[in-house]
């Protein structure tokens, strides 16, 4: 069975840092890209970043709203991916989701349960 | 950035109704369009990718169509479990972008 367990959400002060984690199981993790998506309270979905697989050199893409502040790492030996968030702003308050990307056709077909990040003093 | 505009933003419908949701992109997407369903407190669920390909396990009452910049999600006969918010997403270019969502409510 394909599963994702997300963790790491917390209350953090503005300009603080936080790392979110996802651990995947039930499939060949190393084959897939992983995306991060967030949803501010009462708002729609916002794609924030992508980590490609080893075959594509573990390269990343980010939305402008987080570029330079957020990074993504992955450890294929542990089937895990981390979202490292620095210099957090109140506007970063949201539920954060990691998601597996379908190969070749795109689309996020396996989602974590979400973890809540609150940025507030 | 590619802007994705969904309409309507909300729709009231009854069980058994046919519901159509539109999604317009600010530039052509080829086949790089997906649709998601989200229920309150839950992560989104992939319904359709590549404009019209049904994700495994999704009921056949859901269908996607369109080309270029104009796309449609249709639910042929709305069921109680279909009341939710629906999002389109383009995956042609970065940043990947979602539409603003369409909430399907019970009439």
Interface with chain B: mutation pick from A107, A109, A114, highest number of B CBs within 10 Å: A107
What residues of B are in contact with residue A45 (Cβ under 8 Å)? 36, 38, 44, 87, 89, 98, 101
Length of chain B: 107
Chain B contact present for A106, CB below 8 A: yes
Closest CA to A71 of A51, A45, A57, A53: A51
- φ, ψ of residue A3 in degrees (nearest 5): -140, 155
Mind listing the pLDDT tens digit for each residue in B5-59? Answer: 999 999 999 999 999 999 999 999 999 999 999 999 999 999 999 999 999 999 9
Mean pLDDT of B54-68: 98
Mean pLDDT of A10-27: 98
DSSP B7: E
Q: Which residues, listed in sequence order, are joined to residue A23 by a DSSP beta bridge? A: A5, A80
Q: How many CB atoms sit inside 10 A of residue B83's CB?
A: 15
Does position A78 have pLDDT exceeding 90, yes or no?
Answer: yes
Looking at residue A104, its pLDDT comes to: 87
What residues of A are in contact with residue B32 (Cβ under 8 Å)? 106
Chain A contact present for B43, CB below 8 A: yes
Q: Which residue of B has its CA nearest to A67?
A: B95
Banded model confidence at residue B90, pLDDT cuts 50, 70, 90: very high
Query: What's chain A's average pLDDT?
Result: 97
Looking at residue A50, its pLDDT comes to: 98
Does position B93 have pLDDT exceeding 90, yes or no?
Answer: yes
Banded model confidence at residue A16, pLDDT cuts 50, 70, 90: very high
Indicate yes or no: CB of B49 within 8 angstroms of CB of A102.
yes
- Between positions 53 and 72 of A, the ones with CB within 8 A of B are 61-64
Q: How close is the nearest chain B Cα to the Cα of A30, in Å?
A: 21
- Distance between CA A116 and CA A11 in Å, rounded? 8
Task: State percent of chain A over pLDDT 90.
Answer: 98
Q: How many CB atoms sit inside 10 A of residue A27's CB?
A: 14
Does position B74 have pLDDT exceeding 90, yes or no?
Answer: yes
Mind listing the pLDDT tens digit for each residue in A43-69? Answer: 999 999 999 999 999 999 999 999 999
Both tokens of B19, joined, read: 């519901």
Looking at residue A24, its pLDDT comes to: 98
């Amino acid at each position: 069975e394909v599963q994702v367990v997300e963790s790491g959400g917390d209350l953090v002060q503005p300009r603080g840092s936080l790392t979110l984690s996802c651990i995947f199981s039930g499939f060949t993790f190393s084959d897939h890209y992983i995306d991060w998506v967030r949803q501010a309270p009462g708002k729609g979905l916002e794609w924030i970043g992508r980590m490609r697989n080893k075959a594509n050199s573990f390269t990343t893409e980010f939305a402008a709203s987080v570029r330079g502040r957020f990074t993504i790492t992955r450890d294929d030996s542990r089937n895990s991916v981390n979202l490292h968030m620095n210099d957090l702003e109140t506007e970063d308050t949201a539920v954060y989701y990691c998601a597996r990307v379908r190969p070749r056709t795109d689309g996020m077909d396996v989602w974590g349960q979400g973890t809540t990040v609150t940025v507030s003093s | 950035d590619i802007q994705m505009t969904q309409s309507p933003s909300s729709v009231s419908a009854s069980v058994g109704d046919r519901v159509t949701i539109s999604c317009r992109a600010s530039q052509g997407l080829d086949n790089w369009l997906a649709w998601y369903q989200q229920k309150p407190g839950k992560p989104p669920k992939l319904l359709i990718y590549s404009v019209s390909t049904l994700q495994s396990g999704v009921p056949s009452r859901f269908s996607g169509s369109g080309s270029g910049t104009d796309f449609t999600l249709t639910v042929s006969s709305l069921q109680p479990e279909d009341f939710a918010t629906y999002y389109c997403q383009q995956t042609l270019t970065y940043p990947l972008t979602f539409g603003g969502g369409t909430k399907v409510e019970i009439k």
